[in-house]
Structure 1
Amino acid sequence: MQKILILGAHGQIARLVRQRLLAETDAQLTLYLRNAKRMQEFDSKRETLIEGDVNDTAKLTQAMANQDIVYANLGGQFEPMAKSIVTAMTQTGVKRLIYVTGLGLYHEVPGEFGRWVEESIGAPIMDDTRRAAAIIEQSSLNYTLIRAAYMSNDDVINYELTEKGTPFKGTIISRKSIADLIVRIVKQPEKHSYSSLGIDQPGTDGDRPMY
């Protein structure tokens, strides 16, 4: 029986992942979020609810103990959170991390769309995101970074993946598609080990997000 720690458990993608893991696996879930009152319903037989900040490394380390997989889907300033996650996982000996981030980590988005991404997101946020990813990639963890295109709530699972070192494809991706990739990795944790994956919806190339 797997034990999965979900960081940022009230996020839209995290909720989709959680629903599918409860329906499709026998995994025990630990839901870690800043405001536990937002999680109005949970399965006390299979889920543990912890109110905490990822930047509280001591509390995060406690939550990390005996977990098999950590799935992080966070917002805010990413560099300190990445440091805290890596520290807590290293201290507890937990190795497998699935970490959702955005496109453009390696200036891999080609053409006008790549220029627009850098301009619209801005250097401070992009640089923070890149530093966070580098902390994870330079750690001893078995990580999968998921670099997502601009997200939609479309009721569709349709995606393609690009490896680090290859140009990013497409402009958008549904949250359901990202959740599907995460669930597949949880079910087969050896998949996409030590990798950084771009994810987009096929056929959505363009100069701006093709919603």
Structure 2
Amino acid sequence: MPHLLVIGASQGIGLETAKAALAAGHRVRAFARSAATIALSDPNLERFPGDALSSADVTAALQGVDAVVQALGVPARDLLGPVRLFSDATNVLVPAMEKAGVRRLVAVTGFGAGDSRAAIGPLQRLPFRLVFGRAYDDKDAQEIRIRQSGLDWTLVRPGVLTGGAATGRYQVLDRPSSWKNGLISRADVARFIVGEIAGNAHVGRPVVLISHALPL
């Protein structure tokens, strides 16, 4: 079983990925500034407090792992100001992985990042830009840096995130002509990520994940 480093493991998709990976029998190093407070109990879990913008912290966290899941998020209150977390953290992570010889990276960005922006429907385009524009400009830079790397990467672009348990009933849209927005639970995104780490079915490709399509 691979030893996974999950960056951003204290909440959201990162926390759900840690849960799903542990349930699948993986060893998980859960990296976050608040890692000590992660309310999971498993002998295969290692809580690793650290800052994703610190080269020293990230380098230390990479020791002995086989794959990395990058699942960063920013608070809603920060969306209206400049956003640099995604690109800045990736500019730390990618060279650290290359130096450590850790090649496998699954990075969570979102529907609307990179070349999936053209697939945003006309009814969604203006509100998306007003609310998420700054964050997704930074996710664009994040994706470019990953694509330019020598890593074995997969870009995971979920639609609108919901709570609730994993259902296993979701679509993996891996062709640009099929990309569309929709709802998907964080737990289902995590299930896909853990399966992708095991199977490597989408190395070097972006995928959009949805369970239920939204109106265009």
Structure-1-length-normalised TM-score: 0.87
Structure 2: tracts of 5 or more residues without a match: 75-84
* 1:124 matched residue in structure 2: 134
Q: Pairwise CA RMSD of aligned residues?
A: 1.9
3-state secondary structure, aligned to 1:15: helix
Q: Deviations over 1:173-209 (max 9, x none)?
A: 1112211111211222x2211110011114x2304xx
Contact 1:110 1:167 in 2 (8 A): no
Q: Deviations over 1:4-54 (max 9, x none)?
A: 1011111222222222222222x22111110133224433x3222211011
Say which structure is richer in helix: 2
Structure 1: tracts of 5 or more residues without a match: none
Tell me the percent identity: 25
* 2:100 matched residue in structure 1: 92
| Equivalent in 166, 169, 184 of residue 195 of structure 2 | 184
| Equivalent in 61, 79, 91 of residue 59 of structure 2 | 61
Contact 1:29 1:46 in 2 (8 A): yes
For 2:108, give the aligned amino acid. Answer: V
| Equivalent in 159, 174, 178 of residue 185 of structure 2 | 174
**Paired residues, what number?**
203
- Gap change, CA 1:98 and 1:4, over 3 Å in 2: same
Q: Deviations over 1:109-168 (max 9, x none)?
A: 243245135423343222111001110011111111101111011433321122253352
**Where has structure 1 moved over 6 Å in runs of 4 or more?**
none
For 1:83, give the aligned amino acid. Answer: N
Contact 2:120 2:181 in 1 (8 A): no
- Gap change, CA 1:117 and 1:154, over 3 Å in 2: farther
Q: What is the alpha-carbon distance in structure 2 between the residues aligned to residue 42 and residue 154 of structure 1?
A: 20
- Gap change, CA 1:119 and 1:186, over 3 Å in 2: same
| Equivalent in 140, 143, 146 of residue 156 of structure 2 | 146
The range that moved more, 10-19 or 73-82, is 10-19
Contact 1:170 1:200 in 2 (8 A): yes
